[in-house]
Chains A and B, each alone.
Chain A
């Protein structure tokens, strides 16, 4: 059972509002990731972090920002939401173990709709 949680599960918000999507994990994983999943199913990495105070932009450009002040917490913020931000957002964390590979644990996702 994965111990990684995202809130809210669903969010409908008006254009121009500031929103924060929460992601927390209790597994002590140092690496955390945010993916955007479009309706065509494909996952796009938008942010990742290797540890506290480490954040990097992913492969898909995003207007969102992230922070990593605590190991367990990796929130994503949109300062001014737009309809083009409507999507499913998935948070993940990994524990690297060279002997067993690297399993990624995913949260349930936040489905964001901007109207």
Chain B
């Protein structure tokens, strides 16, 4: 079945790097995504990676993809208090239904 797992909580100090991990089961997805949800808001797309890439860098964000282990990670460099939020990884399995499968979410808390 389709399943996307994440650790529930991560706490880091301001200025440190954060690494949020995700494992998924369906390898048919063309893209894998990271979304951010700030308190009281909906989700917003942070970044995505094409499934035939190993790494994508976008300013402070680095996405690493290990297709063999079905493991996706998001690294946030120089983490700021404004990065405190819930982060979801997601995929759209190639089933023709265009249904997102969201991870369980990781709550990142940045300590000043």
Those of B1-50 within 8 Å (CB) of chain A: 8, 30-31, 33, 35, 40-45, 48, 50
A112–B48 CA distance with the chains assembled, in angstroms: 31
Q: Is the pair A90, B42 in contact by a Cβ cutoff of 8 Å?
A: yes
**Number of chain A interface residues as a range:** 20 to 34
Q: Is the pair B102, A43 in contact by a Cβ cutoff of 8 Å?
A: yes
Q: Is the pair A41, B42 in contact by a Cβ cutoff of 8 Å?
A: no
Query: Quick one: which of B31, B41, B100 contacts A109, CB cutoff 8 A?
Result: B41
Query: A2 to chain B: which residues have CB within 8 Å?
Result: 42, 44
Which B residues are closer than 8 A to A by beta carbons? 8, 30-31, 33, 35, 40-45, 48, 50, 86, 88, 90, 92, 98-100, 102, 104-105, 107
Which A residues are closer than 8 A to B by beta carbons? 2, 4, 31, 33, 41-43, 45, 48, 50, 58, 90, 92, 94, 96, 101-104, 106-109
Query: Quick one: which of B43, B50, B88, B99 contacts A45, CB cutoff 8 A?
Result: B99
Known interface pairs A42-B102, A101-B48, A108-B42; 4 further A-B residue pairs with C-beta atoms within 8 A, sorted by A's residue number: A33-B99, A41-B8, A48-B99, A109-B41
Q: Is the pair A106, B44 in contact by a Cβ cutoff of 8 Å?
A: yes
Known: A108-B40, A108-B42, A109-B42. A41 touches B98 (CB 8 A): no
Q: Is the pair B43, A90 in contact by a Cβ cutoff of 8 Å?
A: yes
